[in-house]
Amino acid sequence: MEDKNPSRFTGGPRTIYSFTNTFVVECPHCRNRAEVRKNSVSGQYEFHCYACHRCLAQRMLYTLSVNQYCPDCGYRLKVNLPAVKQKTSFIRLTCPDCDHTNKFTPTYEGCVLPIAQGGEIEPHFGTELWLQVPFGADTLWAYNYEHLQHLKQYVQAKLRQRQAPDFSPMVERLPTFIKSAKNRDSLLAAIERLTLKK
Ligand SMILES: [Zn+2]
Ligand SMILES: [Zn+2]
């Protein structure tokens, strides 16, 4: 039977990942609204600013680590290089103990370098999310308008339906300040301000 109660949350089970195809962001060049979007053909994320049309390079950096033994003398070589721009399959290291140079296969940990400091960013170019506003000690943020709408629906709901038990819906992992009933009115006002932000 269809539920006609508008205060019931009917957003359905969603995870945060279902909102990550598009990020509404602030263009770091002109400060206007821009987008980071997944190209459905290549699967790569692309930056688009409809105001200044300038490009943005991916800002992925890696921490390179080697923690292996020298094949000549057994000395343990430990190397950590932060902010490496490209992955390579091996690097040459000279053993400080026996002075022999050997090839080592490093491991990499990737992270995106934020363009701006402090705000919530998307994880591909490091640009700041457009839809974010301070809320007390917290920040209310959304990746895109669909995500914001989903939050609004959630906050508006007085009753919450249990979702399918084998799913972990996004709402169950929301921060406490969004779940708190006493914040409902001020949250809706903040969501409204974000919706209208130009
Ligand atoms: Zn721009
Ligand atoms: Zn050695």
Task: Report which bound ligand comes closest to the CA of 34.
Answer: 1
Our measurement of the distance from residue 51's CA atom to the centroid of its chain's CA atoms, rounded to an integer in Å, reads 23
Task: Report which bound ligand comes closest to the CA of 93.
Answer: 2
CA 43–ligand 2 middle distance (angstroms) = 43
CA 132–ligand 2 middle distance (angstroms) = 52
Tokens 């949350």 belong to residue: 9
- Tens digits of per-residue pLDDT, 126-178? 899 999 999 999 999 999 999 999 889 888 875 455 444 444 456 556 788 88
Task: Report which bound ligand comes closest to the CA of 50.
Answer: 1
Among the ranges given (13-17, 77-81, 153-157), the one the predictor scored with the smallest mean pLDDT: 13-17
Task: Report which bound ligand comes closest to the CA of 127.
Answer: 1
CA 104–ligand 2 middle distance (angstroms) = 12
- At 17, the pLDDT band (50, 70, 90 cuts) reads confident
Task: Report which bound ligand comes closest to the CA of 47.
Answer: 1
- Tens digits of per-residue pLDDT, 43-56? 889 999 999 999 98
pTM, rounded to two decimals: 0.69
Tokens 């930056």 belong to residue: 47
Task: Report which bound ligand comes closest to the CA of 71.
Answer: 2
CA 83–ligand 1 middle distance (angstroms) = 26
CA 139–ligand 1 middle distance (angstroms) = 24
Task: Report which bound ligand comes closest to the CA of 54.
Answer: 1
Task: Report which bound ligand comes closest to the CA of 28.
Answer: 1
What are the angstrom distances between the C-alpha of 121 and each of 28, 42, 156? 12, 23, 26
- Cα distance between residue 180 and residue 170, in whole Å: 16
CA 193–ligand 2 middle distance (angstroms) = 62
| Structural contact between residues 105 and 113, judged by C-beta atoms closer than 8 angstroms | no
Nearest in space to 96 (alpha carbons), one of 118, 112, 73, 115: 73
CA 84–ligand 2 middle distance (angstroms) = 25
Among the ranges given (92-101, 126-135, 177-186), the one the predictor scored with the smallest mean pLDDT: 177-186
| Structural contact between residues 135 and 188, judged by C-beta atoms closer than 8 angstroms | no
- Predicted confidence at residue 180, as pLDDT, reads 83
